Amino acid sequence: MKYWLMKSEPDVYSIDDLAHDGKTMWDGVRNYQARNFMRDQMQTGDLVFFYHSNAEPSGIAGIAKVAGKSYPDPTAFDKKDVHFDPKSKKEAPTWYLVDVAFVQKWKQVLALEEIKKIKGLEGMLLLQKGSRLSVQPVLEKHWKILTRGGRV
DNA sequence: GCCAACGTTGGC
DNA sequence: GCCAACGTTGGC
């Protein structure tokens, strides 16, 4: 079992949208590192912090889980989609995604500002200056600290 | 809306 | 293969 953090702008897709949909395709990721995590390392059942970026406040909004094996991102093949990428061919897809399912919404977003104050999160990717990675692994010890107190 | 930090692109 | 220019991310 691995742990992850996935960023989404709530104006585009929020934890409430996921709660409503139950499950969603995590499409549109166009960063190789993020893709590699989804394609090669995510396993069904892995837990995910749903992170609101560019938000008021930015922070962890709840928990989701990986709902299946990775597969090619269909939006890369769709000329009309904003995430269309002519380089990605159906025979050799460039971009992959996983389905993500809703687990829980936290009563309150755990704001980045608060996360920064929590002891024991040294080395967490999210807190590294300039880390824009939208899909990133979370160490189990960091996961445990951040979920302490059952922040449901 | 600003801007620093990145990643990508493309000329050479 | 270098690196400047450009585009994007995301906190503030």
CA angle A117, A13, A45 (to 5 degrees): 75
pLDDT score, position A149: 58
Mean pLDDT of A128-142: 92
Q: Tell me the C-alpha distance between A148 and A129, whole Å.
A: 25
pLDDT digits (tens, 9 = 90+) for A76-122: 998 888 888 888 888 889 999 999 999 999 999 999 999 999 999 98
Mean pLDDT in residue range A4-9: 97
CA of A32: nearest nucleotide by C1' is B7
Q: Is A79 exposed, middle or buried (0-12, 13-18, 19+ CB in 10 A)?
A: exposed
Closest residue by C-alpha to C1' distance, nucleotide C9:
A132
A110 DSSP β-pair partners = A60
Establish whether the CB of A41 is closer than 7 Å to any nucleic acid atom in strand C.
no
Whether any strand C atom is under 7 angstroms from the Cβ of A133: the reply reads yes
In terms of Cα–Cα distance, which of A75, A81, A132, A73 is closest to A99? A73
Decide: A50 and A6 in contact? Cβ < 8 Å: yes
The reported pTM is: 0.93
